Structure 1
Amino acid sequence: MLGLKHGINYLVDFQPGWKLEFEAERDRIQAALGPLARGVEHYGSTAVEGMRAKPIIDILVGVSPLALWEECAEPLGGLGYDYAAHAGVPGHYIFGRGRDSSERTHLLHVVEFEGPSWTSNLQLRDALRRDERLRKSYIAAKEAAIAAAPVGRAQYNELKRGFIDQAKAAIASRD
């Protein structure tokens, strides 16, 4: 299962096909962006085996310097991505792709390659892959956020933000 109607929130069990979906999309993105994309990574819950997740593939694209993000807009548009100008994540330029205008299948975040967002998001992904206890805690935080905000992605994201920030801080302090 892949795709979520705009504004609706729910979680599904991990799908092994998400990895293959990412790999195919990564190849399309790399071909379209060429050397602009210094790195393309699968992150977020669909990148962590065993995680319940919203059925949207989250993709991190690293560019350097970050000002080059604007050069990504046209090639990504050619792949069916639209720019979400008001997504509200500092240091992230976010593009969405869906089967139609109401159902998102992919969210792509352009960030500074090897900058703070790049590093902290990949560290969190890797920690979730390794640590079952952390994974279970995050699933509980996500389920609580869904229960409180079944509609509205901004509210859902804000409700789980505390867990994410705390986990990233703990991971950074270990390194």
Structure 2
Amino acid sequence: MNEKNQWGLGLRKGIVLLVDHNPDWQQAFAEEDARIRAAVGPIVIDLQHFGSTSIPTIRAKPILDVMLGIADFDQGPLLAPVLAGIGYEYVANAGVPNHVFGKGEPRTHLLHVVAHDGPKWHRNIRFRDRLLADAALARDYEALKDRLAVEFADNRAAYTDAKQKFIDAAVA
């Protein structure tokens, strides 16, 4: 069984489990946004809630995805000591071309540090906004995620990789 925090967030490493959307996730993001901005300071250009927990109509892994946009992508790892102070650990070789910081065990938050206004920033925002605007696309994505969660229940990296083709098509 996975322990959940006050927001219904928390998933053990490597496990894929989808849960119904929790409307409290928006408040969880708002509080984390304030916490990150206070810790990191002026290096923050923007913070966005993205990923499936930001889409109220679909099921999601109970891990809040936050994207931090900074001016210089190469400065991302230098945030490790500051972010450690608010519970984040740097996840080297996370399998994505972002600087990733994880919080909690079981994992409750993933912070993706990317170049603000760069390709990853725009791609992630575009995909989130497409899902929010297109109910049929969101349902198709949820159906894919449901199938993949069964197929890759104990392999989160493979689950993430298997969604890529759908995401690529949605943002093309």
Distance 2:55 2:138 in 1: 9
CA RMSD of aligned residues (A): 0.8
Aligned to 2:100: 94
Corresponding residue to 1:160 among 158, 163, 167: 163
Distance 2:63 2:127 in 1: 18
1:45-56 equivalent positions in 2, closer than 5 A: 45-56=52-63
1:115 maps to amino acid? G
1:24-63 equivalent positions in 2, closer than 5 A: 24-63=31-70
Q: Deviations over 1:71-129 (max 9, x none)?
A: 31111111110111011212x0000001x3xx000000000001000011011111111
Q: Give yes or no for contact 1:36–1:72 (8 Å, CA) kept in 2.
A: no
Distance 1:136 1:50 in 2: 8
1:20-169 equivalent positions in 2, closer than 5 A: 20-90=27-97, 92-98=98-104, 100=105, 103-169=106-172
Name the one with the larger strand percent. 1
- Unaligned 5+ segments in structure 1 are 170-175
Q: What's the TM-score once normalised by structure 2's chain length?
A: 0.93
Aligned length: 165
- Unaligned 5+ segments in structure 2 are 1-7
Q: Give yes or no for contact 2:77–2:90 (8 Å, CA) kept in 1.
A: no
Kindly state the Cα deviation for residue 168 of structure 1 after the two structures are TM-superposed: 1.4
Kindly state the Cα deviation for residue 7 of structure 1 after the two structures are TM-superposed: 1.1
Name the one with the larger helix percent. 1
Distance 1:79 1:143 in 2: 32
Q: Give yes or no for contact 2:63–2:109 (8 Å, CA) kept in 1.
A: yes
Distance 1:51 1:36 in 2: 32
Distance 1:120 1:39 in 2: 15
Distance 1:50 1:122 in 2: 17
Q: Give 4+ residue runs of structure 1 displaced > 2 Å after superposition.
A: none
Distance 2:80 2:117 in 1: 20
Q: Deviations over 1:120-163 (max 9, x none)?
A: 10111111111100100100111111111000111111111111
Q: Give yes or no for contact 1:97–1:106 (8 Å, CA) kept in 2.
A: yes
Q: Give yes or no for contact 1:36–1:68 (8 Å, CA) kept in 2.
A: no
Aligned to 1:173: none
